[in-house]
Amino acid sequence: MRRSLYVLIGLSVLGPLIAFIVLYQLVSVPDPTSLAASENQPVTLYYSDGSVLGTTTGAPNGQQFATWDQIPASMKNAQMAAEDETFMTNSGFDLKAIVRTVFNRLGGGTGGGSTIGQEYIKNATGNNQATFSRKIVEAVQSYKMTRTYSKQDILTAYLNTVYFGRGAYGIKSAARAFYNEDVSKLTTEQAALLAGLVQLPGYADSPAYEQERYTYVMGRLLANHWITQAEHDSAAFPAPLPDTGHTTGQNSPDQRYLVDAVMAELNQKGYSEQDLARSGAKIYTTIRPDAQKDAEQSVSKITAADTQYPDEGAALVSADPTSGGVVAYYGGDGSTSYDLAMTPQQPGSSFKPYVFAAGLQAQPGQIGLNTVYDGSDNQTIDGQLVHNSDGEGASQITVKDAMTKSVNTVFYRMGAQAGVGAVRQAAWDAGIPKQITSSLGSTFDSLQNDDPATGKGTGTTELGISIGQYPVRPIDQAQGYATFANDGKYLPLHFVAKVIDNTGQPLYQFDSQARPAFGDAGTSSTVARTVTASMTDVASSSMDGLRGGRPSAAKTGTAQFNNSGHNSEAWMVGYTPQVVTAVWFGNKKQPAPIYGNYHNGIGSNHGYDVYGREEPGYIWQDFMNTYLSGQPVEAFPGAPAAEVAAPTATSDVTTSVPPSPAGTPTTDTPTTTESSSRRKGGPPTSTCVVSCPSATGTASPTQAATSAAPGNIGSSQ
């Protein structure tokens, strides 16, 4: 036993040593010049018809090399502070960091543990698999680099090839892309920010991420005595210049949001911008060039009347519900660093279809299209006084008419009947993400309150969800309504159909299959068809109907600005069997009252408060008419008879009231709003939930959403 133990000990010591020596002889050290050339290949994006959408060309002046002497000491120190503080003394790898990473991953955690040498090897080989074997080979290669090149050469090679974001490979290109400055003139603060961006270059234009990484690197510079306490304390955040885009081709300023959305989708699939550039990728999108042009023109046409209000803007997402392909995408006019189509906003009454979907599933024998509710104004429901817009509603009203007229009291009570958990689940099932990520990279747990201490979701949802209390993005609304349009089958909306490399070899192919969203196929179809039937009169009654009376299903939505009597968000979301389109309209920079001059069917045509039926409704109508021109008129499948029939009466529900006359105007009204923490990383939002205080300015970001207490729920449309 003693001899066997000696052998085992000897093998445990000699085995890794022999393996290390063998690997050392076999591995090669990559050449920085060839690496830079491979990383600078153009990435081409194509429309669905094969025409060129744009080409990423890297940094403005291409790959540029900086010598050791041209790179300031502050940049070298900042990169070591950010990634490898022991770089000048380690052997190319940090054994303790590797062991720590192994234990972290065995415990389900994450961690890097890579030195600058190892990161250079990873960039050169393109192998970023999270495996122990890759880390071992990488460590041997990094060690060999330290035996082949000087530390000075390695750090120079790394700084000349690492990706900083904005298409910038290498520090010289990054200095131009972010500060339009020669690398030799970078300040310590600028160097600290650039060094920090290397960790997640895809978030290089997220203000929150920039601040986080800058603060970290400056702190490590101080801890390593590379700057003094006085220098640290007097430093000011070095805000980068606005990104003018690094894509060429047939792109208007607003289309950079589209390009960013395409690249973000591929990044989520595991294809970083750096990987795509290395392979010279050709990205084939689902975007139709005619539809994209139509979307831009529709937004411009309607908002051109509102130039008196320069901070107002719109977002539009349109998709084919049967394929999931996004056909048109408008995230703003290019004037903001954030994409409005990816920015969470209060949906108001455009959230009510999910409430109905929940009710149909929770109480299929009691809740249906012709179920009659008490829709009168000023009802106390679950301890809350709930209002309708402008006193809309009636003591007896069907669900169909309540959806058309957007009667809050009906859907607030329906939400209470189904339960907030069921409403939340129905929205998630339709496609609202359980975690929503804003355009600037921050993520929050959707459709629930936040823990003020951690920012995480508490799991608690208030009944205000029934009238749009919790924010979602325009692309989320397009996704949710696409599920209704696709007969209850969920199919992920996507921008990318396929990707090939520069040799024609496939890299990625969208192949997700549709699945029933609301239970089994039959139930899901029943729910979707009934929800669709509830919305077929909304567009026409809002004066946003489609040309020639083409059938559509749609819902308006509006969110109130505090308790000011004015609105801050307005929506129109709707579909035909061929296409679904979500439109948001509001202030681009902060919650503020929104006014319009385009057309107001009810009242003054100048300076009116914008509701869902107006600017967003007109944008939706104009785009849909243009997109569908020449396409066949398709009818929706009929709602199942069991769901159309009036159910048995209950204490909350009565029956047998005829529908209101066709063409009765709907009023799209405001909803109360929620905590500014909902839009982390984006513009602040107004903050009242119930019994909102009177206000005319932007609410303080310190105000937080509170649990619903007895009070007034503002009107929502």
Q: What gap in Å lies between CA 128 and CA 160, rounded to an integer?
A: 19
Contact 9, 15 (CB under 8 A): no
> What are residue 276's phi and psi, to 5 degrees?
-65, -40
Strand-strand pairing, 384-386 and 711-713: parallel
Tell me the C-alpha to C-alpha distance, in Å, between residue 287 and each of 258, 322, 564, 575, 590. Answer: 9, 15, 40, 18, 30
Q: What gap in Å lies between CA 54 and CA 521, rounded to an integer?
A: 40
Question: Of 357, 429, 447, nearest to 399 (Cα)?
Answer: 357
Q: Which residues lie closer than 8 Å to 554 by C-beta, 6 or more apart?
A: 535, 538, 539, 542, 544, 572, 573, 574, 575, 620
What tokens does 358 get? 């929940």
Q: Is 446 a catalytic residue?
A: no
End-to-end CA distance of the chain: 81
Query: Residue 212's Cα: distance from chain center in Å?
Result: 20
Q: What gap in Å lies between CA 341 and CA 296, rounded to an integer?
A: 13
Say whether 304 sits in a helix, a strand or coil.
helix
Q: What gap in Å lies between CA 110 and CA 555, rounded to an integer?
A: 43
Q: Which residue type, as a one-letter code, is found at position 531? A: V
Contact 318, 420 (CB under 8 A): no
Catalytic hit among 83, 85, 138, 615: 83
Q: Is 615 a catalytic residue?
A: no
Say whether 381 sits in a helix, a strand or coil.
strand
What tokens does 426 get? 């129905």
Q: For the purposes of burial, counting CB atoms within 10 Å of the CB of 107, is it exposed (0-12), middle (13-18) or buried (19 or more)?
A: exposed
Q: What gap in Å lies between CA 500 and CA 281, rounded to an integer?
A: 6
Q: What gap in Å lies between CA 607 and CA 594, rounded to an integer?
A: 9
Q: What gap in Å lies between CA 86 and CA 417, rounded to an integer?
A: 62
Catalytic hit among 206, 349, 438, 677: 349
Q: What gap in Å lies between CA 479 and CA 431, rounded to an integer?
A: 6
Q: What gap in Å lies between CA 585 and CA 524, rounded to an integer?
A: 31
CA-based torsion, 75, 78, 83, 86: positive or negative = positive
Catalytic residues: 83, 349
